[in-house]
Amino acid sequence: MKRLFFGLTVMVLFAGTAQAQDPKKELKNAGRALSTYYLDPSNNKAKLKEAVDAVEVATGSEMTNTLAETWIKKGEIYNEIATQIVTVKQVGLGSVNDLPKVENPALQAAMAFQKALTLAQKSYEKKDVMKGLMTAQPNLYNMGIYAYEDKAFGAAFDHFNALIETHETLKANDQKSSLDTPEAYNDQLYITGLAALNAEKIAEAGTYFEKLYSMGYDKAAIYEAMYKMKMPADVKDEAGIAAAYKFLEEGRKKYGDDVSLLFAEINHFLKLGKLDELISKLQIAIEKEPDNISLYTTLGNVFDNLYQREYAAGNKAKADEYFTKALGYYEQSLQKDPKYFDAIYSAGALYYNKAAAMTLELNKLADDYTKDGLKKYNEKKKDITAQFDLALPYFQRCEALNPNDISTLTALKEIFARRDDLEKSNEFKRRLEVLTGGGTNPESFFKG
């Protein structure tokens, strides 16, 4: 008897569930709820939520998801949600919190209408699809812009790409589109390509930018994008690098004043380690952006590397020239911002590395016990100490700004050890051990 009762209970529950989820009935409910919402959108937001719940049942059932009507209704409902979100953002009326919580409503609306088109058999259904796609276009654009501004580039690309697809569908059916003018269409290709590039969808970006490039679209960013897409990861791929750089060269000739292209060219030579080519590029960049302190530090780093190259080659005069220029650019950076950490550290490292290189020379003199040899040894040692002393104030300033920079603490530990100041050397050794042990130093030893 108990078993029979249990079985009847299951049957009743099952029947009740099936009745509540009748897809055809839910499709009608979705339409009624949406109609009621339209009577008073401000006060009937709950009806929009009812419409979403009902239409999702219809799209999820084989009984109704093969009907164009189902997908048209979903498109209309989700279009309205997207429209309301845009209205809130642009006009400030209402709140998005009052709307149904659905993912990418504009995108889902467009996809629903595209699906409906594949199922539409009656002329009025196709007419409703075309109307829905036209309504979806501004929503797709606006939602794409919002995502782009939030740096959600993948979502931005999806919306922009869907907008272009709606345009193609509308034109294939002799309908008007928001992208009918060449300017609007080309601009949309451009921003879609940018979104794809920023989202690291290289293949998709290539589709748009190559088309724009072949059309001669008048934007400097096209050339930078083409360069980025063509630039090989392997710096030894000389043919690939040359093919990619061709676009930067072309862009720089066409848009000589474009700072973005200039910076792309600077980064190109930095990546390849072509220091000599960098000097003129950075000097031009400084002329264009004289308040960009990172440019001075970068140019200082270029001269720093050139100094090391010439010093290693034994070209003392040229090495000294580059050393002076490197220090000069670091100091120019610090004149603009005395607390710019990178410039302070770079200046200290310049002196420190010079002292370290001189130490190697000192070791070669250590075995010469002649009077002249000892004299050279002592003079070299004195010069080394002087260079370390010149480096010290910079590292002290760095430590005052950031007590947890490993390179700074290492330099301070070594400098104080060479000055036989074991108390301070051990202090910075202890601070280094705090960092390597996973901790942090709560405050600086030196006060700025």
- The pLDDT of residue 4 is 37
pLDDT in tens, 334-346: 999 999 999 999 9
- Domain over 21-167 is classified CATH 1.25.40: yes
C-alpha separations of 108 from 26, 244, 265, 295, 382 in Å: 19, 38, 41, 45, 74
Amino acid at 48: L
DSSP 8-state secondary structure symbol assigned to residue 94:
S
The mean pLDDT value for 384-406 works out to 95
- The pLDDT of residue 369 is 64
Q: How far apart are CA 255 and CA 152, in angstroms?
A: 29
Dihedral sign of CA atoms 310, 316, 322, 327 in order:
positive
What integer best gives the mean pLDDT of the chain?
90
Model confidence band, residue 5 (pLDDT cutoffs 50, 70, 90) = very low
Tell how far CA 45 is from the center of its chain: 37
DSSP 8-state secondary structure symbol assigned to residue 314:
T
What's the whole-model pTM score?
Answer: 0.64
Q: How far apart are CA 141 and CA 156, in angstroms?
A: 9
- The pLDDT of residue 228 is 87
Model confidence band, residue 375 (pLDDT cutoffs 50, 70, 90) = confident
Q: Which residues contact 193 (CB under 8 A, 6 or more apart)?
A: 205, 207, 208, 209, 212, 225
Residue 281 in tokens: 């590029």
Burial class (CB in 10 A: 0-12, 13-18, 19+), 79: buried
- Does 273-336 match 21-167 at the fold level? yes
What CATH class does 273-336 carry?
mainly alpha
Identify the residue with better confidence: 369 or 387: 387
Q: Where are the domains of the chain?
A: 21-167, 273-336, 339-448
Residue 218 in tokens: 């008048």
Residue 436 in tokens: 């390597």
- Checking if the pLDDT of 347 tops 90, the result is yes
What is the percent of the chain with per-residue pLDDT over 70, rounded to a whole number?
A: 93
Yes or no: say if 285 and 263 are a contact pair by the CB < 8 Å rule.
Answer: yes
Residue whose token pair is 């380690």? 273
Q: What is the DSSP string of 130-170?
A: HHHHHHHHHHHHHHHHHHHHTT-HHHHHHHHHHHHHHHHHH
Amino acid at 23: P
- The pLDDT of residue 366 is 64
Q: How far apart are CA 431 and CA 421, in angstroms?
A: 16
The mean pLDDT value for 422-444 works out to 96
pLDDT in tens, 265-285: 988 988 898 888 889 999 999
Phi, psi dihedrals of residue 237, rounded to the nearest 5°: -80, 80
- Checking if the pLDDT of 17 tops 80, the result is no
- The pLDDT of residue 373 is 64
pLDDT in tens, 28-44: 999 999 999 999 998 89
- The pLDDT of residue 448 is 66
Helix %, strand %, coil % for the chain, to 5? 80, 0, 20
